Amino acid sequence: MREILIAALCCFAGAATAQTPSLLGFAPAGASAETALEARFDTYLDATRIGARLKVLSDRPHHVGSPGDQLNARRIYDEYKACGFDVSVDTFYVLFPTPKTRLLEMTAPVPYKALLAEPSLKEDATSGQTSEQLPTYNAWSADGDVSGQLVFVGYGLPDDYDQLARRGIDVKGKIVIARYGRSWRGIKPKVAQEHGAIGCIIYSDPKDDGYFAGDVYPEGAFKNEYGVQRGSVMDMPIYPGDPLTPNIGATKDAPRIDRKDAVNLLKIPVLPISYHDAEPLLKSLGGPVAPEDWRGALPMTYHLGPGKTVVHLKLEFNWDIKPIYDIVARVPGSVFPDQWIIRGNHHDAWVNGAGDPLSGQVAMLEEAHAIGELLKTGWRPKRTLVFCSWDGEEPALLGSTEFVEEHARDLQRHAVAYINSDGNGRGFLNAEGSHALQPFLEQVARDVKDPETGVSVLERRRAREAVNSADTKQRSELLASYPFHIGALGSGSDFSPFIQHIGVPSIDLAYGGEDPGGEYHSIYDSYDDYRRFKDPGFVYGVTLAKTAGRTMLRLSEADVLPFDFTALSKTIEGYEGEVTALAEKMRESTTVDNRLIREGYYRLADNPAEPIQAPSPKTAVPFFNFAPLQNAQAALSKASGRLQKVLTPALSGDTLRVVNTGLYQAEQQLLSDQGLPRRPWYRHTIYAPGFYTGYGVKTLPGIREALEQRNWAEVQQQIDLDAAVLSQFADYLDRLATSAGAPE
Amino acid sequence: MREILIAALCCFAGAATAQTPSLLGFAPAGASAETALEARFDTYLDATRIGARLKVLSDRPHHVGSPGDQLNARRIYDEYKACGFDVSVDTFYVLFPTPKTRLLEMTAPVPYKALLAEPSLKEDATSGQTSEQLPTYNAWSADGDVSGQLVFVGYGLPDDYDQLARRGIDVKGKIVIARYGRSWRGIKPKVAQEHGAIGCIIYSDPKDDGYFAGDVYPEGAFKNEYGVQRGSVMDMPIYPGDPLTPNIGATKDAPRIDRKDAVNLLKIPVLPISYHDAEPLLKSLGGPVAPEDWRGALPMTYHLGPGKTVVHLKLEFNWDIKPIYDIVARVPGSVFPDQWIIRGNHHDAWVNGAGDPLSGQVAMLEEAHAIGELLKTGWRPKRTLVFCSWDGEEPALLGSTEFVEEHARDLQRHAVAYINSDGNGRGFLNAEGSHALQPFLEQVARDVKDPETGVSVLERRRAREAVNSADTKQRSELLASYPFHIGALGSGSDFSPFIQHIGVPSIDLAYGGEDPGGEYHSIYDSYDDYRRFKDPGFVYGVTLAKTAGRTMLRLSEADVLPFDFTALSKTIEGYEGEVTALAEKMRESTTVDNRLIREGYYRLADNPAEPIQAPSPKTAVPFFNFAPLQNAQAALSKASGRLQKVLTPALSGDTLRVVNTGLYQAEQQLLSDQGLPRRPWYRHTIYAPGFYTGYGVKTLPGIREALEQRNWAEVQQQIDLDAAVLSQFADYLDRLATSAGAPE
C-alpha cells in the first residue's frame, strides 16, 4: 500500500508536462482540463466592459439607505440574472446613523468655524452631486454637544497617552484631536473615551495623506486640503454588523436590543476633518512641543496643549433603521451541489465609491459574466458557485455579517471557502487568508500574468520583495527560492464574519501598490479619479478577475480540495514562536526598564527644562507554562503531515466526499465556544482583528493580547485554551487522515 | 623583578582611599595632592563672570578682518595678561573672501528675488548691528554669474545624484538646490561641481532646522523663516588653513601659490538661503516627486525639476588678505618645561558668535583665570601650560592650521596633548579624541559633577545611553557596567591640524544636547539667544572649565603621562573589524544586487508609470589580503600590553623622562609620510575627516574610503601601508616598553 501511495503522490504533485503545470487537487488529466477551462474563462474577460460598468455603478452616491444604493442593487441583480444565475436578494434592516447637525468651532483663543465640506471640482464630474452625498462624518459617533480644552494626542493610541502622561497631560474632560493613521480609525475615539475625553476629532495630516505624499487632487492623486476621510467608528473589534442584533440576522422581525445596550457604540461625539480645518486648531495649541514622531507636514510647530484653545463640538444624528440589500447569485454544482464556493465584494460606498468598493465589485461581476458565458457553452461547475454583492460594508460589515449570522448553520455545513475582494488597483498581488490554502494560492499566483510586465504576479511580488529588501541575506534567499507567504486576516472587509465568527476558510485578494492617493472615503473616490490614478485601462480589474476566477474554478473543479494543513501547522508554529519570544522579551525589558526607573536613570537622562517623567514601573512578567501549547503543536504537526500524505487522486467515491467535507470544515475546529475574552463574537483562536489595532490582525489573539495588555492570569488561561483547541484540531485531522486511509 | 612590578601596579591602579579616587599616572600621595589641587581650582570658577565675559565678547560682530575681531583679540590678550601668563600674539596673513555682490533671482516661471537678509529683532539686542555684520554667504564660493534650470538634489551627496540618475535627471549645466544637513556643507557644492552643475544653492529646511523642530526665534530657539546658516565651503578635506600657503605658516613673507592653483577652492558659485527664500523656488519645480527621504516641512509637494524654473545667481567677492590674531598664553612648567599641555578654542565668529565659539572661549578664559589664581598662591604647574585663543577658525581653521604648520617641529617635540573646545551648552559631556587617552578621560568624567543632577557627568551619560537605547540587552549591559567610549575626531574645529597633520594627541570636549536651536552661524547666535536657550546661568560653562581644567592639570601634574595604548590597540582592532566586515558586506551585496539588476528584478519591481531605473551593475569586490594588517595588529596588541604593564610609579629619573616623551610622541608614529591618497596634508592613518562627509570622521580612512569609492587597487595598497605603519608603531611601543624596563 505504502509504495503505491508514494507513486501516486509523485505523479500527483510533480509537474505533469511542459504545457500543463501541476495543480493541487487535480490528477494530471484534470489539471489539463482545468487549465484549458481557465484559458476559456480568460477570453470572456474584457477591460472595456469593466470600465464601463465602473462608470455606471459610480454615477451617483450609493451609501446605505440611499436611492443610489437601491438602484445599484437592482443593476447588480439584473447583471447576475443576465448571466443566467439563480439570483436572490437578502434584505436586512439595520441601524444606520446619518448626520442631522454637525458643528465644530474654536471659541478661544481666536474664533474659527470648521468648514466640514469638500468642494466640488470641475475636473471631477460626480463631485458636485451635493444633495445626494453623505456629509463628512464618522458613523456611530454618539450624539453630543461638548465644549472643552483641546489636546493633540498624536495618533490617539494607548502608547500615545503614555507619552502625554509622562508630560503631565491628562485628557479627562477635554476634547482630543488625533491624526488619522497607524490604526483603524475607530480605535482613536475608543481610546480617547477610555481616557475620559469628552469628544474626539480625527484629522488627515498632509504628511500621511496630502501634499507631503504627492501632488494633490485634482492635479495629482493625493488629498487636497479640504478632503475628509469618512468612516465607521463602531467598536467592531467587539462585534461588527447591526449593533442591535448581535449574533443573529437583522431580519425584519429579529429581536433587537436597545441602542444604549449596544456595547460596541461610543458614548462620545467624533468628527473627521480636513487638514484645512485642523490647521487653525493645531496652530493655536500651547503646551509642550509634540514628540517628533507625532509632528506632521503642516507648516508650524506641533504642540500638545492643553492651553487657551477651546473647541465646541456639536453632533446629532438620525438613528434610523435602513434596509440593506445583499445580492446573492448561485450557479448550482453539477457534481457536489452541497459544496459552495463563495465569492463576495460589497457594493455600498460612502459616496460614489469608484475605488472602494466598485473596482472590486466590477471585477467580480466580470467573473460572473465569464462564468455565464461558460454556462452558455454547456459547461457546469462541479461545485456550487455563489456570488455575493454585499450591502452595508462601510458602516460595519453589515450585509456580510447579517448574512453570516442568519445562515451560519448552512454556511458551516456547505461553504468550502469564501473569496473576498474590495478596492483594487494597479500593482502587486496582495493575498491574505487561511494558511491551509497558502500553497494553493501560490499556484494561482504562479498562473496569472501581470499585465504591465508579462511575468506571473507571483514573480512580480518576488521581484518587489527582493528589490525592496535592505538585507543582503534575505535578497540572496529570494533569488534562490521564493517562499510565498500570505498574510493573516484581520478585519476591514467582508471576510471577517466568515472566518472569525464561523470558521469558513477565507481569502482576501487585491492588487495595489501603484495606485496611492487620498480619495479614500471622500467625494473624490470617483470614476474620474479612478481612471486617472488607480487603474487606467482597467487591466488590473481583468487581473483580479483572472485571479479570483482561478481561485473559484480550481476550488470548484478539484478532485481533492487543495487544503494543506501542514502549511497551516507551520504557520501556527511560527505564531507560537512569536508569542513565546514576546513573553520573554517583555520579561527582560520589564526587568531592565523597572531598574532604570527605580534607580533614577530616567531622571538623570531627562532634560530638567523640558521634563518628561519616567514611566511608571510595570508588573514583572511571570514565566508561563507553554508546554500544553507545544505538545498540541507537536500533535498538530504530526497529524497534518499524516493527512497530507494521503490527499491523493487515489481517493474517490464516498471516501473522497467524506475527506473533502472534512477538509473544508476543518477550520471550524479552530473556533472556541466562548470566543475571545470580552468579545465572544470572535471565535477563531488563530486570527482576529486587534482590540487596539482594529483592522490589523492579531494572531493567536487570546494569548498575544493578554500579553500585550499585561493580563498575566489571562495569558495562562488562553495558552491552555488554545492548546486544547489545537489538540482537538490535531485529533480531527488525525481522524480525517484515518478516514482517507492513512496507515496508523 | 616581576612580582615587585605587579605589586607596584596593584598599588598604582587600585582605589587609594574612600576620599581619594585612583588617578591614572599618579601614585596615591600624588593623587591626593592632585585632587586637592582640583578642588582649589574649582573654587576660582564663577558662572557670573563667565556670563559677563560672554556678554562683552559677543557685543559686536567679530569675524576675520573686522574691528570686532581685533578688539576681542586685544581683550583676550589682556585677560591672559591679567592672569600673569606669558602672552604673545601670533599674527598670520590669510586669504579671506567677503561678499561684494549677492544676487539670487528666479526668472521663470514667475519672478522672485531672494531677500538674502536676516531681519533685526527687538528681542535680540545685537541683531541690528547691520553695518558690521557679514551678509549671508558661503565663504570660498567662486565668483560667478550663472543662469540655468534649477534641480533639487536632496542633501546633495553622491548617493543623492544616483537617485537622480535613476530618474533620468542630470545636473550638467544646471543650478542645484540642496538641503543643509547630513554632511558638512562644503561637500554639497563639491559634489555638485563634480556632477557638472554651474551653481549651488544651500537652504535650511524647516524640517531639519526650523518650525518642525520647535518654536522659532525669538519665540523659541529654532530657525525662523529668514535665518540663514553662513559657513565655509572650502574643500577642507583636501587641506584646511590658508589656501595660498599649504603646509607652511601664512606669515607675512611666506611664499604663496596663485589662488587659481589652490585645489581646495571651488569653481562654482554657492549661496546659502533661508527657507523663506527657498520656498518659492522649490514650489515652482516640476518633474518627478522627490524621494520621500528628501521631502522637508515646507507646505508643498517637493519635486525634483528640472522644468520651467530658471534661476540667476550672481556672486562676486573681495578676495583680500587679512590679518588673523592667535593669542598664545604660556605658564612655564616648573619640572618639565619642555612638555606642553595645550588648550585651545577659537575666538572669531561669523557674526556675534555667543554660542559659537564664545561659550567655549569664555569657559577656557575662566580656566586661565583659575590657573592665574593658583599661581598667586605660589603653585606652579609641573609641565608648561599653553592657552591658545585661535582666530580664523570659521573660514577654514586658519589660526590653528597656520600655527601648527608654522610650529610643527616644536609641537611634535614638546606637545603632550592638545585639548580643544568650541561651542558649549546645557546637557551631556561629549568627548572625542585620541583613544590612548580614553581611560584617562573616563576618570575625568567620573570626577566632574553635572550641575543639573548632582551625579558625575559620566553617570549622566550612562543614564542617557541606557534610557535611549531601544535594545534590552544593551540596556542591561549598561546597568551592569559602563564601557566609556570616546568618539574619533573628524574635523570641524581646531584639533584637526594637531592630530591629523602632526600627530599630537588631541581631545575635543563639549557639553550639549539640551541646547538645540537654529542660531548656528546666523546673526541670532547672540548673548540674548544664549542666555535664554543655551546655558541659562552659565553653569555648563563652569562644568566645561572643570572638565578641561582637570584634563590639563592631570596631564600637567602626572608622574607617568596617562596614556594607555591598550585602549588604542583595542579601538584600532575594532576599526579593522569594521573595514573587514565592510569589504565582506560590499562583496555580498554587490553580487546579489548585480544579479537583481541583470536578471531584471528591478524592472519587475518598478512602477512603469513612475519609472525609477535600475542602478548600473557595479564591479565585483575582490578578496583582499588583510593578513598584513592582522599581523601588525597582533604585534600592536602584544606591544601595547607589554608597555602598559610597566607604566607604574616605579619609573623615575631619566627613565621616566624618556618614557614620558616616548608616550606623548607615540601618536606621531601613526602618521604616514605620503599622507592620504589625493590629500597628503592628512597624515594620520587612523583618523581623518571623510572626503565625502567633511566633519564626519573616517577611521582607517585610507582603507575605508578606498572601499567606499570602490577603488580596489587602492584598498590593497592602503591595507599594506597601514599595516606597515602599525608594525612600526608596535615596534616603537615595544622599544618604549624595553626602555621602561619591561622583561623581554
Interior CA angle at A177 toward A238 and A276, to 5°?
Answer: 120
CB-CB neighbors (< 8 A) of A612 in chain B: none
Residue among A339, A243, A726 at smallest CA distance from A557: A339
Dihedral in degrees, nearest 10, Cα atoms A306, A307, A308, A311: 0
Torsion sign across C-alpha atoms A626, A629, A632, A636: negative
Task: Answer whether A605 sits within 8 Å of B466, measured CB to CB.
Answer: yes
Calculate how close chain A gets to B388, using CA atoms only, in Å. Answer: 33
Task: Answer whether B301 sits within 8 Å of A605, measured CB to CB.
Answer: no
A335 and A303 share a domain? Answer: no
Residue B46 lies in a domain: no
Could you give the percent of chain B with pLDDT greater than 90? 96
Torsion sign across C-alpha atoms B630, B632, B633, B638: positive
ipTM comes to: 0.94
Length of chain B: 744
Average pLDDT value for chain A? 96
* Rounded Cα gap, residues A542 and A49, in angstroms: 10
Domain with residue B378: its CATH number is 3.40.630.10
Tell me the pLDDT tens digit for each residue of B505-531. 999 999 999 999 999 999 999 999 999
Residue B241 lies in a domain: yes
Task: Answer whether A588 sits within 8 Å of B211, measured CB to CB.
Answer: no
> What is the full DSSP assignment across B246-259?
TTS---TT-----G
A608 and A491 share a domain? Answer: no
Whether the predicted pLDDT of A609 surpasses 50: yes
B368 and B287 share a domain? Answer: no
Task: Answer whether B460 sits within 8 Å of A603, measured CB to CB.
Answer: no
pLDDT band with cut points at 50, 70 and 90 for residue B19:
low
Task: Answer whether B466 sits within 8 Å of A222, measured CB to CB.
Answer: no
Could you give the percent of chain A with pLDDT greater than 70? 97
Whether the predicted pLDDT of A12 surpasses 90: no
Task: Answer whether A596 sits within 8 Å of B479, measured CB to CB.
Answer: yes
* Rounded Cα gap, residues B678 and B190, in angstroms: 15
Residue B724 has what pLDDT?
Answer: 98
B713 and B645 share a domain? Answer: yes
Residue B281 lies in a domain: yes
Calculate how close chain B gets to A681, using CA atoms only, in Å. Answer: 37
Of B206, B299, B460, Cβ closest to residue A211: B299
In chain B, which residue's Cα lies nearest the Cα of A455?
B604
Calculate how close chain B gets to A149, using CA atoms only, in Å. Answer: 21
> What is the full DSSP assignment across B120-177?
--TTSTTTT-GGGSPPS-EETPPPEEEEEEEEE-TT--HHHHHHHHHTT---TTSEEE
Mean pLDDT for the stretch of residues A429-451 = 98
B348 and B494 share a domain? Answer: yes
CB-CB neighbors (< 8 A) of A289 in chain B: 214-215
Of B460, B473, B479, Cβ closest to residue A604: B460
In chain A, which residue's Cα lies nearest the Cα of B207?
A297
Domain with residue B625: its CATH number is 1.20.930.40
Task: Answer whether B215 sits within 8 Å of A295, measured CB to CB.
Answer: no
A163 and A256 share a domain? Answer: yes
In chain A, which residue's Cα lies nearest the Cα of B602?
A467
Tell me the pLDDT tens digit for each residue of A379-410. 999 999 999 999 999 999 999 999 999 999 99
CB-CB neighbors (< 8 A) of A453 in chain B: 603-604, 608
In chain B, which residue's Cα lies nearest the Cα of A224?
B300
Mean pLDDT for the stretch of residues B209-214 = 97
Whether the predicted pLDDT of B21 surpasses 90: no
CB-CB neighbors (< 8 A) of A214 in chain B: 289, 301
Tell me the pLDDT tens digit for each residue of A48-68. 999 999 999 999 999 999 999
In chain B, which residue's Cα lies nearest the Cα of A428?
B605
Residue B85 lies in a domain: yes
* Rounded Cα gap, residues B123 and B81, in angstroms: 35
Mean pLDDT for the stretch of residues B386-400 = 98
Mean pLDDT for the stretch of residues B654-662 = 96
B87 and B191 share a domain? Answer: no
Q: Are B321 and B256 in contact (CB under 8 A)?
A: no
Domain boundary residue, one of A321, A344, A372: A321
Name B296's Cβ contacts closer than 8 Å, sequence gap at least 6.
Answer: B179, B205, B206, B207, B208, B212, B302
Look at strands A506-513 and A415-420 and give their pairing.
Answer: parallel
Tell me the pLDDT tens digit for each residue of B153-166. 999 999 999 999 99
Number of domains in chain B: 3
Whether the predicted pLDDT of B3 surpasses 60: no
Calculate how close chain B gets to A292, using CA atoms only, in Å. Answer: 8
Calculate how close chain B gets to A212, using CA atoms only, in Å. Answer: 5
Task: Answer whether A605 sits within 8 Å of B295, measured CB to CB.
Answer: no
Domain boundary residue, one of B525, B541, B557: B557
CB-CB neighbors (< 8 A) of A588 in chain B: 472-473, 476
Name A369's Cβ contacts closer than 8 Å, sequence gap at least 6.
Answer: A44, A45, A49, A79, A83
In chain B, which residue's Cα lies nearest the Cα of A474?
B592
B310 and B167 share a domain? Answer: yes
Name A122's Cβ contacts closer than 8 Å, sequence gap at least 6.
Answer: none
Calculate how close chain B gets to A190, using CA atoms only, in Å. Answer: 29
* Rounded Cα gap, residues B490 and B496, in angstroms: 7
Residue B666 is classified by DSSP as G
Residue B694 has what pLDDT?
Answer: 84
Tell me the pLDDT tens digit for each residue of A513-549. 999 999 999 999 999 999 999 999 999 999 999 999 9
CB-CB neighbors (< 8 A) of B287 in chain A: none
Residue A19 has what pLDDT?
Answer: 58
In chain B, which residue's Cα lies nearest the Cα of A287?
B215
CB-CB neighbors (< 8 A) of B212 in chain A: 295, 301
B353 and B434 share a domain? Answer: yes
Residue among B576, B577, B517, B507 at smallest CA distance from B544: B507
Whether the predicted pLDDT of B17 surpasses 70: no
Instruction: Report the first-to-last Cα separation within chain A, whole angstroms.
Output: 13
Task: Answer whether B466 sits within 8 Å of A601, measured CB to CB.
Answer: yes
Task: Answer whether A211 sits within 8 Å of B301, measured CB to CB.
Answer: yes
B331 and B316 share a domain? Answer: no
Mean pLDDT for the stretch of residues A228-243 = 98
Residue B481 lies in a domain: no
CB-CB neighbors (< 8 A) of A472 in chain B: 585, 588-589, 592
Mean pLDDT for the stretch of residues B347-371 = 98
Of B459, B588, B596, Cβ closest to residue A467: B596
Residue B519 has what pLDDT?
Answer: 97
Beta strand spans in B216-309 (E): 231-232, 270-273
In chain A, which residue's Cα lies nearest the Cα of B300?
A211
User: 3-state DSSP call for residue B415?
Assistant: strand
Domain boundary residue, one of B557, B588, B608: B557
Q: Are B544 and B509 in contact (CB under 8 A)?
A: yes
CB-CB neighbors (< 8 A) of A460 in chain B: 604-605
Residue A463 lies in a domain: no
Torsion sign across C-alpha atoms B272, B273, B275, B278: negative
Calculate how close chain B gets to A350, using CA atoms only, in Å. Answer: 28
Calculate how close chain B gets to A365, using CA atoms only, in Å. Answer: 27
Residue A328 has what pLDDT?
Answer: 98
pLDDT band with cut points at 50, 70 and 90 for residue B11:
very low
Of B214, B300, B476, Cβ closest to residue A301: B214
Residue A744 has what pLDDT?
Answer: 81
Of B214, B459, B475, Cβ closest to residue A596: B475
pLDDT band with cut points at 50, 70 and 90 for residue B483:
confident
Tell me the pLDDT tens digit for each residue of A25-34. 999 999 999 9
- Write down the residue that cell numbers 439584473 correspond to: A78
Q: Are B667 and B489 in contact (CB under 8 A)?
A: no
Residue B20 has what pLDDT?
Answer: 63
CB-CB neighbors (< 8 A) of A516 in chain B: none
Number of H helices, E strands in chain A: 25, 16
Residue B121 lies in a domain: yes
Tell me the pLDDT tens digit for each residue of A99-139. 999 999 999 999 999 999 999 999 999 999 999 999 999 99
B274 and B290 share a domain? Answer: yes
Of B301, B466, B599, Cβ closest to residue A596: B466
Residue A17 lies in a domain: no
Calculate how close chain A gets to B476, using CA atoms only, in Å. Answer: 6
Residue among B501, B425, B428, B525 at smallest CA distance from B684: B501
pLDDT band with cut points at 50, 70 and 90 for residue A4:
very low
CB-CB neighbors (< 8 A) of B603 in chain A: 453, 463
Q: Facing residues of A328 across strands?
A: A88, A388
Whether the predicted pLDDT of B448 surpasses 60: yes
Task: Answer whether B605 sits within 8 Å of A464, measured CB to CB.
Answer: yes
pLDDT band with cut points at 50, 70 and 90 for residue A17:
very low
Calculate how close chain B gets to A517, using CA atoms only, in Å. Answer: 13
User: 3-state DSSP call for residue A87?
Assistant: strand
* Rounded Cα gap, residues A724 and A715, in angstroms: 14
Q: Exposed (0-12), middle (13-18) or buried (19+): which is A3, by Cβ within 10 Å?
A: exposed
CB-CB neighbors (< 8 A) of B294 in chain A: none
Task: Answer whether B592 sits within 8 Å of A472, measured CB to CB.
Answer: yes
Residue B744 has what pLDDT?
Answer: 81
User: 3-state DSSP call for residue B460?
Assistant: helix
Whether the predicted pLDDT of B13 surpasses 50: no
Enclosing domain of residue A549: 61-94+322-454+486-557
Domain with residue A247: its CATH number is 3.50.30.30
Residue B534 has what pLDDT?
Answer: 98
Of B297, B427, B596, Cβ closest to residue A299: B297
Q: Around Cβ B261, how many Cβ atoms within 10 Å? A: 11
Task: Answer whether B222 sits within 8 Å of A301, measured CB to CB.
Answer: yes
Task: Answer whether B592 sits within 8 Å of A476, measured CB to CB.
Answer: yes
* Rounded Cα gap, residues A272 and A202, in angstroms: 5
> What is the full DSSP assignment across A680-696?
TT--BSSEEE-TTTTTS
- Which of A205, A212, A285, A590 is the best residue to mutate to test the B interface, defined by the most B CB atoms within 10 Å of its own CB? A212
* Rounded Cα gap, residues B134 and B138, in angstroms: 10
Residue B195 has what pLDDT?
Answer: 98
Look at strands B336-346 and B383-390 and give their pairing.
Answer: parallel
CB-CB neighbors (< 8 A) of B456 in chain A: none
Task: Answer whether B459 sits within 8 Å of A604, measured CB to CB.
Answer: yes
A68 and A145 share a domain? Answer: no
Calculate how close chain A gets to B457, using CA atoms only, in Å. Answer: 10
SS in 3 state form for A427-488? EEEEEEECHHHHHHHHHHHHCCECCCCCCEHHHHHHHHHHHHCCCHHHHHHHHHCCCCCCEC
Could you give the percent of chain B with pLDDT greater than 70? 97
